[in-house]
A = this chain, B = another copy of it.
Amino acid sequence: MLVIGEKINTINARVRQAVEDRDAMFLRDLALAQAGAGADVIDVNVGSRPSVEPESMRWAVGLVQEAVHLPLSIDSPNPVAVRVGLEACRNPSQAWANSINLEQSRLEGILPLVAEHGCHVIGLCMDEDGVPATAAGRVRAAQRMVEEVGRRGISLEKLYLDVLVEPISVVPHAAMVSLGTIREIRSVLPELKTVICLTAISFGLPARRLLNRTLLPLLMAAGADAIILDPLDHQLVATLKAMNALLGRDAHGLAYIAEHRANRLG
């Protein structure tokens, strides 16, 4: 399972300030720390000021890829910012475009870039009415997304379906719906991959990290192929490592013992 590190996002006030100040050191350190904690992909979202987003994206992508040799996820709904971000990548075919939905403007603005660069793309399982309340509704949106991607000649191997998760403070069954969507996609679209942004589950509640790390094993067991999360949350990463052992891929717990010896189990 891939870990997409979510920390470089101007929704966070400190990151927003760093982007506005062009504080390269701060962003570089945030990228390095996430890489050191095991992130496989570094998400870059610099959309706090839409008018300068493309220029901010070019700047951020340039310095992050100097700091870490990991694929970047160009996180914007704005096709111009996605284009600039992908063009700034050393190896755009390894990058991610995050994200598209079924809106024509995003499909037509972003999918040609995905086709041109051969990069990965995250497709949100939502439709014109928003986020479907049921797994069945999200899978229907996923099937439409698969058609849109496929008919533009993009390999479905490049598509990650974001099953979405709503805060349980708003939708009590939110976790169960997202887990059901992952399982349903594995059943009806078994060649497709899934991704989910973990952190949204706990929005509006106290002790958010406890909820996040309690959901993580369920997502991994359901078979999520990638998870967008905070790699600097030590207990979350420790849970991920414990789950790797529980999934049965760790003969005699040797990898788990090694993580323990390296003091990486929280």
Q: Are B221 and A218 in contact (CB under 8 A)?
A: yes
Is A151 at the interface (CB under 8 A from chain B)? no
Q: Which of A12-20, A36-44, A56-64, A199-207 contacts B (4 or more CB under 8 A)?
A: A199-207
Q: How many copies does the complex hold?
A: 2
10 further A-B contacts with Cβ under 8 Å, apart from A172-B253, A214-B217, are A172-B248, A173-B248, A201-B246, A204-B253, A205-B253, A205-B260, A207-B238, A210-B238, A210-B242, A210-B266
Q: How far is the CB of A229 from chain B (nearest CB, A)?
A: 15
Pick from B175, B246, B249, B251: contact of A246, CB under 8 Å = B175
Q: Are B205 and A248 in contact (CB under 8 A)?
A: no
Q: Are B243 and A214 in contact (CB under 8 A)?
A: yes
Is A232 at the interface (CB under 8 A from chain B)? no
Pick from B172, B210, B250: contact of A168, CB under 8 Å = B250
Is A48 at the interface (CB under 8 A from chain B)? no
* Interchain residue pairs with CB less than 8 A apart (11): A168-B245, A168-B246, A172-B252, A176-B247, A179-B221, A204-B253, A205-B257, A205-B260, A206-B260, A214-B242, A218-B246
Q: Are A248 and B176 in contact (CB under 8 A)?
A: yes
**A246 CA to B222 CA, complexed, in Å:** 15
- Chain A: interface size category: 35 or more
Contacts of A214 in B (CB 8 A): 217, 239, 242-243, 246
Contacts of A256 in B (CB 8 A): 205-207, 211
The 7 A-B pairs of least Cβ separation, nearest first, read A173-B248, A214-B242, A206-B260, A175-B246, A207-B265, A205-B253, A172-B248
Is A155 at the interface (CB under 8 A from chain B)? no
Is A105 at the interface (CB under 8 A from chain B)? no
**A9 CA to B17 CA, complexed, in Å:** 56
Is A102 at the interface (CB under 8 A from chain B)? no
Q: Quick one: closest B residue to A177, CB to CB?
A: B248
Q: Are B211 and A242 in contact (CB under 8 A)?
A: yes
**A77 CA to B247 CA, complexed, in Å:** 32
